[in-house]
Amino acid sequence: MRGIARWFGCCAGGAGVGLAGLYLVFMPAFAQNSPGQGAKAPVTIAGGFDKVHALPPGGPTPHMADGHPDLTGRWYPNSAGKMLQGAYPVDPLAMRQFDPKETPEVAPSFRPGLANKYTKSVPYGNCDQAGTPSVTLEQIIQHDPMELVQTPWRLAILYEYPLDVRMIYTNGRVHPKDPDPTFNGDSAAHWEGDTLVVEVIAIDARLRNISGVGGGSGSGAGVQWFPSDKERVVESFSRPSKNYLIYQVTIEDPVVLAKPWTSAPRRWSLAASDDEWGEVFCTHNEEPDFWNKTDSQFKREYERQTSPVPVTSGGGRP
């Protein structure tokens, strides 16, 4: 099962049909009533998905020797503390990262007359590019974990898919005067009470922003757009209890966005201590001339679904 989960982890974004097939494999199996019984026997679900529920708080927040919360842990983008997929018939409370009724996630608002270079369609077969903040936001549909390792002066973040590593320094480091653009940008962090706040600038404009909610049914990435070199990202990490981590981000870009966009506070859950790191790759394995021979109607539909579209709230699952 773990192998299946990892394989779908890299492909869930655009594999709606495949996930639907997986759902059929693990559809609930209902016990038949014996003759004369008036009530149905308890329902069980193949694969044990009926036993998957949201974790309890798990106890108080662990702290470092310096008094700050310890964010260290292997975290999944759900409330179950394990790998889940959109097709798994599990408790919805265990699956989602936030409740759209309690903490709605409003769609990004783009400036009128935005140039095409910021809203261009993503080429078919394009793998998700690792970078900030998309690699964290898109896990609402990719479902892969991140691992945090905290020391008194640094927070290391390891993403299983797309393979990525970030080093966030918490020792008072400030931005250089003229940082070189990178996909993860230049980070400067500080503590505000029990919340780690990270400001990121100098993010490479070739990195596509992926909100992870909304968008076309086949895009697998929700609302997405390309930033300008004026983009500024502010992330917050907090750990309200042993089993939960909260991540929230605000994206500012005066060239692309009509106003700053703030995500919902997204909940991540702590994995079991024996949960092992997996290696997940996305590869461009289509034939070189595949796209040239693809049906024109399919091309138009794909490009429509991979272009930014307005949504009013999020939190659903693919």
> Pick from 232, 217, 213, 185: which is nearest to 108 by CA?
213
Structural domain contains residue 314: no
Structural domain contains residue 247: yes
- Number of domains the chain is built from: 1
Structural domain contains residue 34: no
Q: How far is CA 285 from CA 3, 46, 125, 257, in A?
A: 20, 33, 8, 34
Structural domain contains residue 234: yes
Question: What local confidence, expressed as pLDDT, does residue 110 receive?
Answer: 93
> Pick from 251, 152, 136: which is nearest to 199 by CA?
251
Residue span of the structural domain in which 124 resides: 2-28+45-304
Structural domain contains residue 36: no
pLDDT, mean of each 10-residue run, the chain (318 residues): 38 34 32 37 62 96 97 97 89 92 92 89 74 94 95 96 95 95 97 98 94 54 88 98 98 97 97 91 70 79 60 33
Structural domain contains residue 192: yes
Question: What local confidence, expressed as pLDDT, does residue 8 receive?
Answer: 36
Structural domain contains residue 39: no
Half-sphere exposure of 195 (CA within 13 A, CB side): 13
Half-sphere exposure of 111 (CA within 13 A, CB side): 17
Which tokens sit at 308?
């930014």
Categorise residue 241: left if φ over 0, alpha if ψ from -120 to 50, beta otherwise: beta
Question: What local confidence, expressed as pLDDT, does residue 295 receive?
Answer: 83
Question: What local confidence, expressed as pLDDT, does residue 252 receive?
Answer: 98
Structural domain contains residue 313: no
Question: What local confidence, expressed as pLDDT, does residue 125 receive?
Answer: 65
Q: How much is the pTM?
A: 0.78
Which residue is it, tokens 């922003």? 209
